[in-house]
A and B are shown apart, each in its own frame.
Chain A
Amino acid sequence: MLSARGLTKHFGGVVVADSLDIDLNPGEIVALIGPNGAGKTTLFNMLTGFVRPDAGSIVFDGQRVEKLPSHQRARLGLARTWQRPRLFESLSLVDNLMIADRDYPGERLIEMVFRPQHVLDCEEKGRERAERLLDRIGLGARAEGRSTRLSYGQQKLVGLARALMNDGRCILLDEPMAGVEGRTVETMKTVVRDEAAAGKAVCIVEHNIGFIRDICDRAIFMFNGRIVAEGSVHDLLADKRLTALYFGSHS
C-alpha cells in the first residue's frame, strides 16, 4: 500500500530522519511511537509531501510519489490529520468536510461555467457523504455550525472526519488522542477501527499508550530520527530498554 525506503532528512547538521523504512498494509493499524523530537511528525511530513526528503523513495499504490506535491498525493488517496485540529474556522463543519472530497468540483472554474449541472450534482453527493460522516462522529446535528463552538476533542473528531472524506486507501493520524476526553475517546477508537476493518492502511503517531494497546496491530519505535524497534505492540511496550529511552528523554 504505502512503502517508503531510505527516507533521510537533515536540517542543517542535525539528522532528523536517518534512512527510514516503513510499510503500511491494508487493514492494519500501525502505531508510530517514541519520545518528542524522535522525528515522527517529520516522517509524516515527508510521506505527505510537506517536507522534502534529502534521499529515499516513497511508493503509494504502486506509484512513486516522493516528487509529487502534497495536494497530488492527497488526490491519490493519501490522507492525514494534524496535531492540532486545524479546521477552517470561517466554514461550517459540513463545508469543512466537503472541501476534502477528492473530486471536489468547486476548484475547476471552467467546469463550473460550462457544466454547472454536473457541478451541482457533485456538490449534492459530496454534501450527503459529509453529512453521513458527521453523523458517524455524532456531530450530524452541528453540521451547519462553525467549528469554534465545539470542544477541542470534537474538533479533533471533525479533523478526522475531514481526512476520511478523502476516502483514500491510507490515512496518517498525528496524535489523534491528544486533548481528547470523555465520550469522544470511544468515538475516535470506533471510527479508526472501522476504517481499518474497511481495508484502509492506518498509521498513528500517539503518546496515549492505552489507546495504542487497544487498537493498534503493530508498532514502530523511533528515537533520534531512527527506527530502533519494530514489532507487536505488546512486545514493544514490554521492552524495558525502549521504555527507558521513552521516559529517559522526557526528564
Chain B
Amino acid sequence: MIEFLLTLAILAGINVLLACGFNLILGYGGLVSVAQPVFYAIGAYSSALLSMKLGLPVPLAMVLGALIAAIASFGLSLPSLRVSGDYLVIASMGFQLGIIHIINNVEFTGAASGLSGIVSAIESPWRSQIYAGTIIAICAVTILAIRWLVTGPYGRAITAMRNDEEVFASLGRDAVHIKVTLFAVGSGIAGLAGGLYAHYFLFLTPDQYGIFSSATLLTMVVVGGAATVRGPVLGAIFLTVLPEAIRFLNLPIAVMAPLQGVIFTGLVILFLFVKPEGLFGSKSGGGLDAWQSRAMSSSMRKGAK
C-alpha cells in the first residue's frame, strides 16, 4: 500500500511538471499545441538512451534530456510561430504523430515493443521514498521558478502581450521571441519529467505519448485554470488521483482507457463552457479568456453593448 501511494505521488509529481510546462505554453504563451507529450517522450528516450548507450550518469542524462527537448521545441515553434500562431495547432499534431511514428519504427528506441533495461536512478531499499522526495523537491523549485517568471518583469510583458499583441509590437516588444522562449522552457520541463519517469519506471513505450496523453494534459491545465500558477498543479494532482478511483471498478483495460479519455475530454468541454477560468483561476486573472479575441478587444466590446 505504501509502495502504491509512493508511486502515485511520483506520477502526480511528474504530471505536475508536465502540466506546469504545458501551462507556460498554453496558458501564458496562448499557444495551442497538442505536442506536449512529445517533448515528454523526447526527454524520456534521450535520457534513457544516453545513460544506456553512452553510460552517462543518470542525473546528467536527465538534464541533457531536458535540454534536448527544449532544443527540439524550436523545430516546431520556429516554423509555425514565425508565420502565424494559428498554424501551431496543426503543426503540433503533425510533429507529435511524426515523432511517435519514428519512435515506433526504429530499432534504436525499441520500436513498438518499447524500451526496457533502462538504468535506475537509485539503488536502495528506500528507492521509492527517496525518489518521491526528490520529485516533490523538483516540483517545488519548478513552481517557484514559474511564479518568479510570470510575476516579474517578464510576466508583465506576457500579460501585455495577451491583452493586445499588436500594441505590444508597436511598443517595440517581440511577441514571437517571448512565445518561442516560453515554448522552449515548457518543453524543457516536459523533457525533465520524461527523464524522471524513465529512470524510475524503467520501461517506455511510444503509446504513452499519443493523443490520450495530450488530452490528459489539456484537461489538467484547463480544469485547474490556465494561466494561473497553482491551477495546473492542483489540476494535475486531482486528475492523477481520479483515475485510480475508477481503477477500483476493475474494468478491462480496453474499456478503462477510452473511459478515462471520455471523462477527461468531457471535463475540458464542460469547463470551457461552464467555468472557462478553471477550478482555481479567478475571473480577472488567468483562464482562457485572458486572451482577448483577436477580432475585437474588450474596449470595443464595451462600446458595442
**A residues at B contact (CB < 8 Å):** 48, 50, 69-72, 74-75, 79-80, 82, 84-86, 88-91, 95-96, 98-100, 102, 104-107, 109, 112, 119, 123, 162-163, 165-166
Contacts and interface: CB of A to CB of B under 8 A. Distances in A.
A88 B298 CA distance: 10
Interface string B243-277: 00000000000000000000000000000000000
Interface of B: 149, 152-157, 159-160, 162-164, 166-175, 177-178, 181, 185, 284-285, 290, 297-300
A74 B163 CA distance: 19
Rank and list the top 10 A-B pairs by shortest CB-CB distance, nearest first: A106-B153, A74-B172, A100-B171, A88-B163, A75-B172, A70-B169, A88-B160, A71-B169, A99-B160, A71-B174
Contact of B166 (A50, A85, A104, A112): A50
Given A74-B170, A99-B168, A89 B154 contact: no
A104 B160 CA distance: 13
A112 B157 contact: no
A70 B167 CA distance: 10
A198 to B, nearest CB: 20
Given A82-B167, A86-B297, A91-B159, A71 B153 contact: no
A86 B164 contact: yes
Given A84-B300, A112-B154, A71 B173 contact: yes
Contact of B290 (A69, A82, A90): A90
A28 to B, nearest CB: 22
Nearest to B303: A84
By DSSP majority rule, is chain B's interface helix, strand, loop, or mixed? helix
**Which of B177, B181, B284, B299 lies at the interface centre, i.e. has the most chain A CB atoms within 10 A of its CB?**
B299
B173 to A, nearest CB: 6
6 contacts: A86-B166, A91-B163, A99-B168, A106-B152, A107-B154, A109-B185
Given A71-B174, A107-B177, A109-B181, A88 B157 contact: no
A84 B299 contact: yes
Nearest to B172: A74
A74 B169 contact: yes
Contact of B156 (A79, A91, A102): A91
A35 B175 CA distance: 34
Contact of A86 (B159, B167, B173, B175): B167
Contacts of B299: 84-86, 89
Contacts of A98: 156
Contacts of A72: 172, 174
Contacts of A85: 299
Contacts of A69: 169, 174
Nearest to B174: A71
Contact of B170 (A50, A89, A102, A104): A50
A75 B185 CA distance: 26
B153 A100 contact: no
Given A82-B167, A107-B178, A109-B154, A88 B159 contact: yes
B285 A88 contact: no
Contacts of B149: 109
Given A50-B166, A88-B164, A90-B163, A104 B157 contact: yes
A98 B171 CA distance: 10
Nearest to B298: A89
A90 to B, nearest CB: 5
